[in-house]
Amino acid sequence: MLQFIRSKAGTFVVKVLFVLLILSFGIWGIGDFLRSSPQDATVATVGDHKITGDVVQRAVRQQVDRLRQQFGGNFDMEQAKAFGVVDQAVDGLVTQTVLDQEAERLHLAVGDKEVALLVQQEPAFKNAQGQFDPGQFKIRLGQAGYTEASYVALLRSEQPRIDLASVAGGTVAAPQALADLLYRLRNEKRVADWVFLPSAAVKDIPAPDDAALKAYYDKHPDIFTAPEYRGFTALALTAKDVAADVKIDEAQLKDAYNQRQDEFVKPEQRHLLQMILKDQKSAVDAEAQLAQGKDFVKLAQDLTKADAATVDLGDVAKKDLPTELADPVFAAKEGEVVKPIQTAFGWHVVKVTKVDASSGKSFEEAKPQLEADARKDAESDALYAFSNKVEDAVSAGADLATIAQQFKLTPYTVKAADERGLDPDGKPIPDFAIASDALTKTAFATAQGATSGLEQVPNGSFYLVRTDSVTAPALKPLDAVKDQAKTAWTNEQRTQKVADQAKALADQIKPDQPLAKLAAAQKLQLSTTKPFIRNNPANQAGIPGPVVAKLFDLAPGGVATAATPDGEVVAQLKDIQAADPVADKDKVAALTGQLGQQIGDDVLNQFDRALRTLHPVSVERDRIANLF
């Protein structure tokens, strides 16, 4: 979190994004989010400041909404928890609050002069000459949905935090010697000759006698031991169980359509060119010249010294314009120059170069999607209410058979399954409404004869499991696994023999008998790697991975062997190509910057830990878990 604050301190766009983060955390008291439990309960304290459950819920729900846009509408709270969204939100809140408390302790504040300077230095508000442009300032704020007052409030709130984080981490200069050394290590290249000895080529393995087979069986009981099996019965509560009770009416869909206008309707946009002149006479003269056929962009550049990018505002919606400009600009026709308009920033001359009419889906067109979404939400609510009734029955002591009969649920019975969801014959257990991994995990966590609590899976369904039987792991008789034991023993012999061959070949390599010469004499296929670096991206070396690291521990002529899943590699280092940092100054400079950033981040982390000691942090994890 501190790294985010420091690294994003200088941009208008990120200041706008950061205010969204603040809104989600409830610091501004804006936003209306659903709450699922007592939200006024304190879930964390930082010094003398309390963070309540509703603030955490707001942060989490807004982040879940963003992730749904990224991953699709099926992204639910269980997945969010698995992604660490809740922990990240809490940590972010704590970091912000710690910084606020430290800023208050140090009496840090942003005065009017500092605010003005921050606004004037923001690149997004400058014209082509690098000067602060009041018109650009107004338009950019309007496009972002903020007034001058709300943006100033943002600066006053955030800048003390940014200042603290920036001073703590600062710009750390990494030692040049460190950057050069790391560059050499990362970019040094090596070349090697190598041969591969496949295990499958070993054919002369005799069949094991009974004594050898028994010895192997006794030595490897883990291979021949049947896993623990559990028999269980499960009940599932799914959306299908409540679908018939869910009714969606037309009025509900129309309300949803009106609330989701931004999703279904694209407002009219206009492509605008603009110049801002100091007085009315200049604006009227410019209008007259345009009427005579003068090019708008060229005239604007001549009169205001602005560049083309500043003149061209691009596609703009009505809501993005200052109030004085919005109505006349959107009343003009395509190709028309709007009569000069005065605002606090001067006289505006605007040309509408293109009109994109509003578009989107009508209510009838959007109705199927609205109905599907409404039904999904309603079924989710109904299923939650249904699960509460089932949970109440479980708490009252009802057994699984009674619950199934009372709520018309069909039991699902498995006689025996291991933790992987396989039966004693190695076949997957039959499909069910709940995935087998969830069922077996719960069955193996529940004592024999006991019934689990009501569990929920990512798609929103619920389930109960009663563990009916437990079969302990048992060593299978040798007679029952004789074929399996023979295969395993033969593979072990083959693996050992090819390892011995690899060692023998490696021992033969001498200065006057390199691997290349031995490979030719023994009719082995020799390969030579392409030059490769230490981390061997995309198998740059073209050699099995296990031997790569060993080759970087060798001097030229050195030999390494390594086992692979299907054989052995014997390799001899042929060449070392040193990396020269002097010849690659740009990459070294980039690496120096990365090291400085990493060192700065380490300092920031230490600063964060120190602040959390100065302003003690306490997080009630159980209370937070109950919120979701």
Model confidence pLDDT, tens digit, residues 565-578: 999 999 999 999 99
* H/E element, 431: none
What is the per-residue pLDDT across 541-563, written as a single tens digit (0 to 9) for each? 888 888 999 999 999 999 999 99
User: Any residues with CB less than 8 A from the CB of 427 and at least 6 apart, and which?
Assistant: none
Phi and psi angles of residue 122, each rounded to the nearest 5 degrees, phi first: -70, 120
- Considering only residues 41 and 252, tell me which one the structure prediction assigns the higher pLDDT: 252
Nearest to 95 by CA among 10, 164, 15, 17: 164
User: Any residues with CB less than 8 A from the CB of 286 and at least 6 apart, and which?
Assistant: 275, 277, 299, 303, 340, 349
CB 407, CB 387: distance < 8 Å: no
Q: Mean pLDDT, the chain, as a whole number? A: 86
Radius of gyration of the chain (CA): 35
The pLDDT of residue 128 is 66
How would residue 24 be classed by pLDDT, with cut points 50, 70 and 90?
A: very low
DSSP string, 7-62: HTTT-HHHHHHHHHHHHHHTTT--------S-TTSEEEEETTEEEEHHHHHHHHHH
What is the per-residue pLDDT across 257-294, written as a single tens digit (0 to 9) for each? 888 887 788 888 999 999 989 899 999 999 999 999 99
- Considering only residues 7 and 414, tell me which one the structure prediction assigns the higher pLDDT: 414
What is the per-residue pLDDT across 237-255, written as a single tens digit (0 to 9) for each? 999 999 999 999 999 988 9
Phi and psi angles of residue 386, each rounded to the nearest 5 degrees, phi first: -60, -45
Q: Of 192-196, 260-264, 345-349, where does mean pLDDT reach its minimum?
A: 260-264
What is the per-residue pLDDT across 107-157, written as a single tens digit (0 to 9) for each? 888 888 888 888 888 888 887 667 787 777 877 787 676 788 888 888 888
Nearest to 99 by CA among 149, 158, 145, 155: 158
Residues 579-608: what's their mean pLDDT? 90
pLDDT at 399 over 70: yes
Residues of the chain above pLDDT 90, percent: 53
Place of tokens 């050069």: 180
The pLDDT of residue 170 is 61
pLDDT at 8 over 60: no
Residues of the chain above pLDDT 70, percent: 91
pLDDT at 435 over 90: yes
What is the per-residue pLDDT across 312-344, written as a single tens digit (0 to 9) for each? 888 888 887 888 888 999 999 999 999 999 887
Greatest CA span in the chain, whole angstroms?
110
Contacts 24+ apart (CB under 8 A), 7-11: 7/597, 9/162, 9/165, 9/166, 11/123, 11/124
What is the per-residue pLDDT across 519-532, written as a single tens digit (0 to 9) for each? 999 999 999 999 99
The pLDDT of residue 583 is 93
Nearest to 531 by CA among 293, 101, 190, 200: 190
The pLDDT of residue 307 is 79
The structure tokens listed for 580 are 């020269």
The pLDDT of residue 357 is 87
User: Any residues with CB less than 8 A from the CB of 535 and at least 6 apart, and which?
Assistant: 186
The pLDDT of residue 26 is 33
Place of tokens 């040193």: 578
DSSP at 478 = G
Q: Of 49-58, 108-117, 160-169, 405-414, where does mean pLDDT reach its minimum?
A: 160-169
pLDDT at 37 over 80: no
What is the per-residue pLDDT across 44-64, written as a single tens digit (0 to 9) for each? 999 989 999 888 888 888 788
Q: What is the pTM of this model?
A: 0.56
How would residue 81 be classed by pLDDT, with cut points 50, 70 and 90?
A: confident
Phi and psi angles of residue 4, each rounded to the nearest 5 degrees, phi first: -60, -45
The pLDDT of residue 38 is 43
pLDDT at 31 over 70: no
User: Any residues with CB less than 8 A from the CB of 80 and at least 6 apart, and which?
Assistant: 60, 63, 64, 67, 86, 628
DSSP string, 56-115: HHHHHHHHHHHHHHHH-TT--HHHHHHTTHHHHHHHHHHHHHHHHHHHHHTT----HHHH
CB 98, CB 106: distance < 8 Å: no
pLDDT at 465 over 60: yes
Place of tokens 């001058």: 148
Encoded amino acid at 250, one letter: E
How do the residues of the chain divide into helix, strand and coil, expressed in percent and rounded to 5?
55, 20, 30
CB 501, CB 197: distance < 8 Å: yes
**Measured between alpha carbons, how far apart are the two ends of the chain, in Å?**
23
Cα-Cα-Cα-Cα torsion 156, 157, 161, 167, nearest 10 degrees, comes to 0
Place of tokens 């109030």: 323
Phi and psi angles of residue 416, each rounded to the nearest 5 degrees, phi first: -160, 135
Count Cα atoms within 13 angstroms, Cβ side, for 519: 18
The pLDDT of residue 74 is 63
- Considering only residues 13 and 135, tell me which one the structure prediction assigns the higher pLDDT: 135
Phi and psi angles of residue 78, each rounded to the nearest 5 degrees, phi first: -65, -45
The pLDDT of residue 176 is 93
CB 273, CB 379: distance < 8 Å: no
- Considering only residues 117 and 404, tell me which one the structure prediction assigns the higher pLDDT: 404
The structure tokens listed for 501 are 């061959």
